[in-house]
Structure 1
């Protein structure tokens, strides 16, 4: 297999970095682990399969990306365009998705981010797409109330309406910050409850080409990465339970599939 087989993914990227998580109350609990994710140009998502044995789009491969893992479970680009249009956001330019890939056919994606621009290249909205371990999904649409471009590193807020962890109630809100350059990306997501900051989390990565070398690096460094994501979630939950952190039963999911924070 040579570089020619990856030409159709020339504008895709891998990003190698880490996930950090810190809980502040009622006990301190922190962990971090190495990770990687994809930077996907949404205009390439047309429902058709592509790729090779190492990396596949909408097909089987050692590493892969499937549109059905996002949005409404079908064609991803019409879905995200429709979500933006319904919110009155004129993001008619490029859209980039940051998301975990499938590894050996399996994926669990706690959070993915859609970065949505207008034709002039201004970022008008970011959609945080959240999945929980119960097979439910909710999107937080982050945008300025007046439709103005989002500044790099600006704090964006959203009320928490979706159950993620049984050790956190569905209350309070999130504070998001996104720091990007041509070389790396950092997403910071903090959860505050009525008492103040509760969880501090981040996902970071330094970009590399999506090519033979990048895929081999990902597979050698993280051969069971997405299986590990779900395993770590349950392991950390066990540790919190053993430390007697209060447990919250899962409420019904929100009636709407997306929360629009631009209103």
Structure 2
């Protein structure tokens, strides 16, 4: 899983709730995969795409990580805290871009590579509707299967959905080639899979032509994600699912804290 050129990802996200009621949803989504800095960082494409500047579609590194440090330092620190000892070279971020200045990223993924280009670490940055963010970091350098799908597990420690308490653990499976991407996440509690989610997409070069060819999908991306989640939450409430409140004073409700 080596670095790739800046890419536009067109695909879909699906959720399936298994307990205590069965419920599923699907929606199309557009994402971008870019280097966060250095000579490989993407070039802005006029008014169509802006990197750290305004554009119809834009991506700002300040929307991720912590306000207290540069994004590269934040990634390196999160991986170091998780046990990584590898020096970090290129860092790529996969996220939903801003559309007309607005964005919501339920899950963003950082791919950290060592100077030789091998995958050295992964960070899943999870956001909720309360403005809170949490990072789940995983060193990869001791694995022999850098190019294969990555299977990772960790305890859940962050409030995401009002229909799930903060307990259980996550199981991640991530694979990426030069033209395909798949991330699946399972929430497991007491040995049962409560919820599963998957993001599948195809990669295209992040160029003006690709953005224009997917103009309608890209233009409605933020609205689709935001209101799609709210609509499905209403449907779950009508099915009688109990709700849980976020933990006040924690990263669940403190924007940008990790």
Q: What interval of TM-score do these two structures reach, taking the shorter chain for normalisation? A: 0.7 to 0.9
Shift in CA distance, 153/111, structure 1 to aligned 2, threshold 3 Å: same
Shift of 1:86: 4.1
SS for the counterpart of 1:249 is coil
Shift of 1:172: 0.5
Residue in 2 that maps onto 1:33:
27
Describe how 1:101-120 pairs up with structure 2 within 5 A: 101-120=97-116
For residues 42-63 of structure 1, the C-alpha deviation after alignment (integer angstroms, 9 at most, x for no partner) is 2349999954200001111100
Unaligned runs of 5+ in 2: none
The alignment covers a number of residue pairs equal to 248
Shift of 1:173: 0.4
Rounded Cα–Cα distance in structure 1 between residues aligned with 2:94 and 2:108: 6
Residue in 1 that maps onto 2:178:
182
Residue in 2 that maps onto 1:11:
5
Shift in CA distance, 117/149, structure 1 to aligned 2, threshold 3 Å: farther
Contact kept in structure 1, 2:79 and 2:139, CA below 8 Å = no
In the alignment, does 2:160 pair up with 1:167?
Answer: no
Supply the RMSD in Å over aligned alpha carbons.
2.6
SS for the counterpart of 1:43 is coil
Rounded Cα–Cα distance in structure 1 between residues aligned with 2:19 and 2:172: 20
Unaligned runs of 5+ in 1: 1-9, 259-263
Shift of 1:78: 2.6
Q: Normalized against structure 1, the TM-score is what?
A: 0.86
Residue in 2 that maps onto 1:72:
66
SS for the counterpart of 2:27 is strand
Contact kept in structure 2, 1:47 and 1:75, CA below 8 Å = no
Rounded Cα–Cα distance in structure 1 between residues aligned with 2:89 and 2:106: 26
SS for the counterpart of 1:79 is helix
Contact kept in structure 2, 1:180 and 1:186, CA below 8 Å = yes
In the alignment, does 2:43 pair up with 1:43?
Answer: no
* More displaced stretch, 211-220 vs 17-26: 211-220
Correspondent of 1:84 among 79, 82, 106: 79
Contact kept in structure 2, 1:176 and 1:190, CA below 8 Å = yes
Correspondent of 2:15 among 21, 27, 31: 21
For residues 80-119 of structure 1, the C-alpha deviation after alignment (integer angstroms, 9 at most, x for no partner) is 1233344442142222111110111100000000111212
Shift of 1:41: 1.2
